[in-house]
Amino acid sequence: MSQHGGDGELLDRVLLTRVIEPGDEIGGRWVREYGAGEVVRRLRAADGAALPGASPKRWGGLRARARRAEPERDLAVAAAAGVRFVWPGQVEWPGQLDDLGDARPVGLWVRGRPSLRTWALRSVAVVGARACTEYGAHMAVTLAAGLAERGWVVVSGGAYGVDGAAHRGALGAGGATVAVLACGLDRPYPRGHVQLIERIGEQGLLVGELPPGDHPTPSRFVLRNRVIAALTRGTVVVEAAYRSGSLVTARAAQRLGRHTMGVPGPATSGLSGGVHELLRQDAVLVTDAADVVELVGDMGELAPDRRGPVLPRDLLEPAARRVLAALPGRGSAAVPDIACGAQTSEDDTIARLYELRALGYVERHGDDWKLTRQAMISARGGRGAC
């Protein structure tokens, strides 16, 4: 039972964000089995009986954290920064986060006016290398803008490189974006993205597991990625080396049964090595927003057919195309030979040849026929010659 009266669940869970690290499955199991109030009571009780799974050393550390925690103060600091606290069971809580099991967040700090639950229902994660190339930044901006224009929410981690480019692409298209941070929302990180993060907080949503004032650590960045993966319908990776943190997000998405996608890059680029490894496994290759939406969207949201440019010869009737294809690339040919190659009669071949001559594709040389220069250029274009 909670120690805090009517606001007990809120205060207990806020306190636990100071005590239990993000992704701590043992702590998550305690909350599930005993309830947040009982966990807090045990942590603060004079006798301090340890909960199952905690060594004496660890339990002592958790109790020390609990003694220092001031949930009322954290809520006051958060409110001054325009931040609210959302926890499981509330209307705004995104139910898909429950797929994380005991690694589910104790609660989330949220800044921004829209409903996190509503936005998460139609969202896609776009993540990738911090030290991305111009190509990676371009693809992230273009993908995010295309998704935003189609009414999808773009979720990323607010970091340098691909993350920042994805947020900017969505904002630039007048769309919605969510930044999931590995720090307290009142202490934006990285410092070089303070203006971008502030803009996201005003036009979109900022989300984090850590209470006000908390700073990021390498492990917190890694654990933050599971929230990005669980929150969204799918994850797109744009540039990632073999040991990139964005691959952690992609693998978490795969474990959760979410769609995993990758944008290919040059085979010679180390920043594309991790993406290509994903694509060799279960990830789906995507090149634009239409590809992504076809995968994660509703039935009928199909990407357009991919075709090269329509050439004049594509507009010919099939019989005329067969006759044209039967003519040699160099020199001329007699009607019987052309008819044999086109698998049609000589009379039909002659009729098609005169039709093709009127269109400028062939010319007559005595009894033989040959391709014009125009036809040869068209043929080379159709074969994709440089």
**DSSP annotation string for 356-370:** HHHTTSEEEETTEEE
Q: Which of 69, 86, 116 is the last residue of a domain?
A: 69
What is the DSSP code (8-state) at residue 166?
H
Counted domains in the chain: 3
Residue 140 lies in a domain: yes
Q: How confident is the model at residue 175 (pLDDT cuts 50, 70, 90)?
A: very high
Burial of 335 (0-12, 13-18, 19+ CB in 10 A): middle
User: Do 9 and 126 share a structural domain?
Assistant: no
- Residue in the structure block whose two tokens are 């125009």: 374
User: Do 102 and 34 share a structural domain?
Assistant: no
Q: Whole-angstrom Cα distance, residue 346 to residue 332?
A: 16
User: Do 318 and 284 share a structural domain?
Assistant: no
| Mean pLDDT along residues 174-201 | 94
Where do the H-state alpha helices sit in the chain?
Answer: 8-19, 25-34, 36-44, 56-68, 71-80, 116-120, 134-149, 162-172, 194-203, 218-231, 245-255, 273-280, 289-296, 318-326, 335-342, 346-358, 373-382
User: Do 215 and 350 share a structural domain?
Assistant: no
Residue 13 lies in a domain: yes
pLDDT (tens digit per residue) in 262-298: 999 999 999 999 999 999 998 999 999 999 999 998 7
User: Do 370 and 275 share a structural domain?
Assistant: no
Nearest to residue 191, comparing CAs of 155, 216, 156?
216
User: Do 135 and 13 share a structural domain?
Assistant: no
User: Residue 4: its pLDDT value, please?
Assistant: 42
Taking the CA atoms of the chain, what radius of gyration do you get in angstroms?
A: 30
User: Do 147 and 54 share a structural domain?
Assistant: no
pLDDT (tens digit per residue) in 15-54: 999 999 999 999 999 999 999 999 999 999 888 788 999 9
Q: Which of 296, 331, 355 is the last residue of a domain?
A: 296
Give me the CATH number covering residue 145: 3.40.50.450
User: Do 332 and 284 share a structural domain?
Assistant: no
User: Do 323 and 276 share a structural domain?
Assistant: no
User: Do 269 and 350 share a structural domain?
Assistant: no
Q: Is the pLDDT of residue 219 over 70?
A: yes
Residue 103 lies in a domain: yes
Residue 4 lies in a domain: yes
| Mean pLDDT along residues 171-195 | 94
User: Do 177 and 49 share a structural domain?
Assistant: no
Q: Which domain holds residue 372?
A: 312-382
Q: Is the pLDDT of residue 3 over 60?
A: no
Residue 134 lies in a domain: yes
Read off the tokens for 8: 């007990």
What is the DSSP code (8-state) at residue 302?
P
Q: What are phi and psi of 220, to 5 degrees?
A: -70, -35
Where do the H-state alpha helices sit in 81-217?
Answer: 116-120, 134-149, 162-172, 194-203
Read off the tokens for 4: 């805090």
Give me the CATH number covering residue 322: 1.10.10.10
Residue 200 lies in a domain: yes
Q: Which of 270, 296, 322 is the last residue of a domain?
A: 296
pLDDT (tens digit per residue) in 62-118: 999 999 999 999 999 999 999 999 999 999 999 999 999 999 999 999 999 999 999
* 51: three-class secondary structure by DSSP: coil
Residue 77 lies in a domain: no
User: Do 326 and 222 share a structural domain?
Assistant: no
Q: Is the pLDDT of residue 309 over 60?
A: no
Q: Cα–Cα distances in Å, from 36 out to 4, 21, 30, 210?
A: 11, 14, 8, 17
